[in-house]
Structure 1
């Protein structure tokens, strides 16, 4: 079925090489025409051994189209219809970038008013043709009220604000400057352009930049965005997309075919950040400080998303990389050091051995699996009865602390003589020791020893400052084996009981008994809100 571009607005940001590697003989890209009219069709075809990513860039350097095409018997073909409006299909030269594995190829075509004129008749002011002009943004572009800027619509269909408007907002700012875009910009993938020198001004004033577009909010901490080009004509372009097009859905579905335990919620967001100076466009992928993204869900989205199982994932081709995120009320928030394609998925992992007598732990294991705090011993089994080592426990508790995003990222110096570098638990143990969550025995951590219930509870209560624990109202514990609890653990056991983190078996605490994988999952899950 023909792909109508009004439903194919750029949604995904795929990092493709600008020049690429030398294309292998098995990879080729063909474009059916050098020129095409608005409302006309154009076909992209060729050969490829693996899935082929096709991306088309407008003359103003925003993403026009993106698709992942699966070759059939080594060949592929995709036909699109060019929209009939200037907003979605400005006249000028479009760049086609195709990538498959380590091979890539670039082509161009022009959207023209009349065939045979070489694409030399761009819309006024839209920067059409091969080299868009370096338009200086007027200092008074946009309006400001207090510390809030409302950009104005530029000639190319994007939104702009100038340095003077920013200065006015800064004079009234306390901690941040907010840019409010019309709600439709997130769906339409419209661009926001502003002078690059703005970034230095905000950094010097220690002000965050907040961009609001409909139900989406981006917060860039002061100094998180940087560019080496702050000349008079240099601009920063930000394009935010939240529309789930058919192509976006197809890309997510391809990833879910390989990752069967995930379910799409239909919530997506991607952001392009570029430094622009005339025809020179440089993508800014990494941030110096994490940005915070907030997505306000619609009532229908909020109903279908289970807070215990939902998380934000970076869609990296067919790979899904867990980012985290938290749902509070109807708003999902997450932090990222780089911008690309993100989606909210539910991870509903089921283990065959969490039934019968272990059913009491299944809900906790599911919730922690969805946060990627615990994993199974294989795809089908969790091994709930297996004892957990001190190294495994330190790793799990630090994943739980990290989920709160309240702990320092500094690792510190490894204080333990028996925790070698390069082990899966080395960083977690080192960080847990620096935060005072774990300690050792005479300079040794004993990573392979089973952790006892009283040791685990002491570590849990040392980590309690990173969680929002409240009293369960149960009063003091009444364990009949309380005398067996070590003196150094008694206070922690009482606090854990009062906060509902532990329950024992109703009578006994079993302080010297090793903790099982089922028990530690339940205890860790009780720490979380």
Structure 2
């Protein structure tokens, strides 16, 4: 069942919206068929019990406080319970002794019961041939002599189901069936307006009178040309409202699911199959010599990816520093495998770690800065969300991570690397700049920040009168940092390059430059630091403390207004290197502190940090071959250090 043609996307869309409804339609389907075998009393009771239990779950969706995902899973569990009884399939079949029909219906119901997202259901359908054969499918629908494309036949059957849904809605006035359908579309297509889908189906059924033709097929021994024409016309209506244009594969060409591939220390996997066959990905990871990345290519038009915890555990075991790269078309999201603790989350949710799934969604949203005079918008806005989901609907949102998370956002046109700024916009409309690196082709930018939010790109240019036109050697460092909103002036027009910088100011600049956000912005990490201070309005000090970049004094103070010394700055930069990963920095290990005449003045606590930053080329000595560790650092010197560091790790162009 992996043949692709004009019906392919139609079939998947209908599979999601129609096959999932098959159990609740059992009564109507058998009662309305022209040549149906009536259900016995016991079978009728089982079907009615199932319908009742499913409808109770979905009735709760009318409440604004109801958790649709939980209720959908309840419905799936109910279906699985019925399947466990063993004879449920025979009870709902018109011909209960037909083994082919039993195989097909069992396979479909099993897929439904084990699929809790649209992607999973699509994956399950793509692997249908592992359970049933073409011959079984044809036999199940009394179409052994049918010579057409089997997918067309399946579309016809699914349209039959959808037609019965619509007729059921009429008789129940929408109380149960409508609620059930809305719930499914609402959960499976969270970002899709259901109304045009329903309207499109209603229009097709009414216009083409397909309902009558489909009712006849239950007892027909063959599909007439009139039936075929009606089905194709209805499928066209489905295609219009449900699917984007697609590249059509000639009939008869079979495209199997793409297996995981390896290369360049990466394992690449199709996002549409990773959930249905996790073992294939695990095997690819384990067999690879080295894995730095697990690349998950998400199907076009899909905004959500689910990765089983078993895959993440295998990846972490192979390489604890590996990264999961999720590609949603032109948008990418990179999540380090060590950015979350699955064992701890499993304990919180009271489940086994292997039962968890990592859920990542990237959704294009209305740009909150569009039309605002203060901003020149360069790209669409995207909302990034991550959660870990357990069976039964329990979940834990992951919003703040221990390291900056990389996300790549496409632009509408070529970007200027010196003035392009990635920003987040929170629910209150607050705009915050994030570290931004324009890629080589200048058509996208990599944004780094330790939290999820809505991200977009804007143009921003800033300069100061006291460092422009050759008035200061620091112009090439200060202006790019100011344009990226990493450093601020002492006034709107002046930077004051020779003014000594304080410990609080330097720590805050590091926080902004690295995109670090505190778990608790208002945390009182030091007695002399609060969010009322200008350099700490967004909890910058708490952020760099949590990151292990800064520390206070033994008396519990931070002394934010003290002027920072060169060796103190070196300690912070050295720890920042550890925070982002030392592999991102090039060190010249031939350099040694003995090159400085005053190297013995460098204290024992700071010595290794000073040497490290010196070897990285981020902090040099003076012309007289001294380092002067206790000398104060001014704003121009610190701009050079910060700029070179961010450029080295590609957090700025």
1:143-169 per-residue CA deviation (whole Å, 9 max, x = no partner) reads 534565446xxxxxxxx5485433333
Choose from 271, 279, 286 the match for 1:167: 279
1:343 Cα offset (Å): 1.8
Choose from 197, 205, 212 the match for 1:91: 197
Alignment of structure 1 residues 57-456 onto 2, 5 Å: 61-63=189-191, 90-92=196-198, 113=203, 142-145=257-260, 148-150=268-270, 160-161=272-273, 163-174=275-286, 178-181=295-298, 185=300, 189-190=301-302, 199-202=308-311, 205=314, 210-220=325-335, 240=362, 251-255=368-372, 257-259=373-375, 263-266=376-379, 268-270=381-383, 286-287=398-399, 292-295=405-408, 304-306=415-417, 308-316=418-426, 318-327=429-438, 329-330=440-441, 332-334=445-447, 341-355=454-468, 358-400=471-513, 402-403=514-515, 419-420=528-529, 424=533, 428=541, 431=544, 435=548, 440=553, 445-453=558-566, 455-456=568-569
Distance in 2 between residues matched to 1:511 and 1:371, nearest whole Å: 29
Is the contact made by 1:149 and 1:166 (CA closer than 8 Å) also made in structure 2? Answer: no
Please say which structure displays the higher CA radius of gyration: 2
Tell me: CA distance 1:252–1:513, structure 2 relative to 1, closer, same or farther (3 Å): same
Unmatched tracts of structure 2, length 5 or more:
1-62, 66-183, 212-230, 242-254, 262-266, 317-322, 649-653
Is the contact made by 1:388 and 1:450 (CA closer than 8 Å) also made in structure 2? Answer: yes
1:399 Cα offset (Å): 4.4
SS of residue matched to 1:392: helix
Is the contact made by 1:414 and 1:430 (CA closer than 8 Å) also made in structure 2? Answer: no
Distance in 2 between residues matched to 1:471 and 1:398, nearest whole Å: 26
The aligned residue for residue 520 of structure 1 is: 638
Is the contact made by 1:142 and 1:165 (CA closer than 8 Å) also made in structure 2? Answer: no
Distance in 2 between residues matched to 1:478 and 1:162, nearest whole Å: 55
Tell me: CA distance 1:218–1:421, structure 2 relative to 1, closer, same or farther (3 Å): closer
1:351 Cα offset (Å): 2.6
SS of residue matched to 1:91: helix
Distance in 2 between residues matched to 1:464 and 1:236, nearest whole Å: 29
1:195-222 per-residue CA deviation (whole Å, 9 max, x = no partner) reads xxx6454456567764334433334556
Tell me: CA distance 1:435–1:141, structure 2 relative to 1, closer, same or farther (3 Å): same
Which 10-residue stretch deviates more, 280-289 or 160-169?
280-289
1:342 Cα offset (Å): 2.0
Tell me: CA distance 1:362–1:506, structure 2 relative to 1, closer, same or farther (3 Å): farther
Tell me: CA distance 1:475–1:210, structure 2 relative to 1, closer, same or farther (3 Å): closer
Distance in 2 between residues matched to 1:436 and 1:338, nearest whole Å: 18
Distance in 2 between residues matched to 1:452 and 1:527, nearest whole Å: 18
Tell me: CA distance 1:332–1:283, structure 2 relative to 1, closer, same or farther (3 Å): farther
Tell me: CA distance 1:19–1:364, structure 2 relative to 1, closer, same or farther (3 Å): farther
Is the contact made by 1:90 and 1:126 (CA closer than 8 Å) also made in structure 2? Answer: no
With normalisation by structure 2, the TM-score equals 0.43
With normalisation by structure 1, the TM-score equals 0.51
1:282 Cα offset (Å): 11
The aligned residue for residue 501 of structure 1 is: 619
Is the contact made by 1:142 and 1:161 (CA closer than 8 Å) also made in structure 2? Answer: yes
Is the contact made by 1:389 and 1:449 (CA closer than 8 Å) also made in structure 2? Answer: yes
1:314 Cα offset (Å): 2.2
Is the contact made by 2:407 and 2:447 (CA closer than 8 Å) also made in structure 1? Answer: yes
Distance in 2 between residues matched to 1:440 and 1:297, nearest whole Å: 44
1:468 Cα offset (Å): 2.0
Is the contact made by 1:62 and 1:191 (CA closer than 8 Å) also made in structure 2? Answer: no
Distance in 2 between residues matched to 1:323 and 1:432, nearest whole Å: 19
Distance in 2 between residues matched to 1:436 and 1:213, nearest whole Å: 33
SS of residue matched to 1:382: coil
Distance in 2 between residues matched to 1:272 and 1:442, nearest whole Å: 40
Tell me: CA distance 1:518–1:472, structure 2 relative to 1, closer, same or farther (3 Å): farther
1:313 Cα offset (Å): 1.8
Tell me: CA distance 1:389–1:508, structure 2 relative to 1, closer, same or farther (3 Å): same
1:288 Cα offset (Å): 7.4
SS of residue matched to 1:367: helix
SS of residue matched to 2:332: strand
Residue-pair matches, total: 386
Distance in 2 between residues matched to 1:471 and 1:177, nearest whole Å: 31
